[in-house]
Amino acid sequence: MATHAFFKISIDGKAQAPVYFELFDKSVPKTTKNFASLCQGFEKDGRLLTYKGSRFHRVIKGFMIQGGDFTKGNGTGGESIYGEKFEDENFEHKHDAPFLLSMANAGPNTNGSQFFITTVPTPHLNDKHVVFGKVVSGKSTVRAIENLKTQSNDDPEVPVVIEDCGVCTAADIPPPQPDATGDKFEDFPDDFEGELVPRKAYEIGSELKAIGNKQFAAKNNEVAVTKWRKALRYLGVHPFHDEDAEKDLEFWKQYDVLRNSVHLNIALVALREKRYQEVLKETSVVLDNKESLTQAEKEKANYRRGVALAALKNFEEAEATLAQAGSDPAVKKELAAVRQKKKEYIARQRKAFSKMFA
């Protein structure tokens, strides 16, 4: 039976879902013993060697996340249970998938305590680094780390700390649980178990939109936008209608309506929070989708875009945009206000120019 290990990780002080690993102890027993021992804590010469309290010091999106330097914390330290370094055990396992656990090194036979977790297949590392395990739960935490902003040396801008670690059995690993909002899906579609056919992507996108709407109603705007953006990632698996679209035009119409509605929801929150450039970005996506855009969506996008343009003092474009936002009383009121502001702005400009040439 394979050995399993776990990390309890915090990002900027906030606890994340635990990451559980299956270790390949049959094929690379020496390497896995080193990792498992450091997860448990290993006494050596009166010192405790452990991953607990250490951090992930190197993050490269679309490649890997690296940690395990518990002596210096910057990628120049670390130590194995066998000594400072130990030899490459074998290269039986290949870097052919994301979420593989592999030894970091400084060249042949220089393994210590540092490790990395792949976030994509990395075949160029084959026969250079020893793969000794894989992530079996907690992939969303790995993705959260991967997507952090980093400094010029690839060090995350916020601390990513292994708060606790140890070994366990497969039976100790809890089944995936929905988060506090009821969201049971992986954060990124690439990690979804199964085939994301268009109807499945639509189903997940719909559920995530509903979760976001519920959070929005509860005034949890940040959570709402997070869920809506996640919905867009799943819907984005099929950015274009497939080759059989002609057979099911009604479905693809609803697919586009769902996607547009999520963009408009994000634009609404951005507008209320005065993030006007974000409003322009989200409404541009909707308005560029001319083929499947409904009149209601067009008017809603133009209204939110027009209000944002007015707030940015682009009164000319704001007026033209709001003129395409329908005849709702709120639209008429906003359009009148923009025209008045435009008039006052022009008057101030003329007055300023007249003083220049007086």
List the catalytic residue out of 6, 7, 116, 185. Answer: 116
Cα–Cα distance measured from residue 284 to residue 267, given in angstroms and rounded to the nearest whole number: 10
Sequence-separated (6 or more) residues with CB below 8 Å from residue 179: none
| 6 close to 165: Cβ distance less than 8 angstroms | yes
63 is catalytic: yes
3-state SS assignment for residue 11? strand
List the catalytic residue out of 4, 55, 57, 58. Answer: 58
List the catalytic residue out of 23, 125, 280, 287. Answer: 125
Residue whose entry in the numeric block shows the structure tokens 């009383």? 329
For helices 295-311 and 276-288, give the axis angle rounded to 10 degrees: 150
3-state SS assignment for residue 266? helix
List the catalytic residue out of 40, 63, 221, 254. Answer: 63
3-state SS assignment for residue 73? coil
Sequence-separated (6 or more) residues with CB below 8 Å from residue 189: 196, 201, 233, 234, 236, 237
What is the residue type of 268?
L
List the catalytic residue out of 86, 90, 91, 105. Answer: 105
Residue whose entry in the numeric block shows the structure tokens 């970005």? 281
125 is catalytic: yes
57 is catalytic: no
Cα–Cα distance measured from residue 150 to residue 108, given in angstroms and rounded to the nearest whole number: 28
- In angstroms, the Cα distances linking 110 to 84, 92, 120 are 8, 18, 24
129 is catalytic: yes
Cα–Cα distance measured from residue 21 to residue 137, given in angstroms and rounded to the nearest whole number: 7
List the catalytic residue out of 16, 34, 66, 302. Answer: 66
Cα–Cα distance measured from residue 111 to residue 222, given in angstroms and rounded to the nearest whole number: 42
List the catalytic residue out of 4, 55, 95, 129. Answer: 129
116 is catalytic: yes
Cα–Cα distance measured from residue 30 to residue 134, given in angstroms and rounded to the nearest whole number: 16
58 is catalytic: yes
Cα–Cα distance measured from residue 84 to residue 79, given in angstroms and rounded to the nearest whole number: 5
Cα–Cα distance measured from residue 163 to residue 13, given in angstroms and rounded to the nearest whole number: 10
3-state SS assignment for residue 297? helix
91 is catalytic: no
Q: Name the residues annotated as catalytic.
A: 58, 63, 66, 105, 116, 125, 129
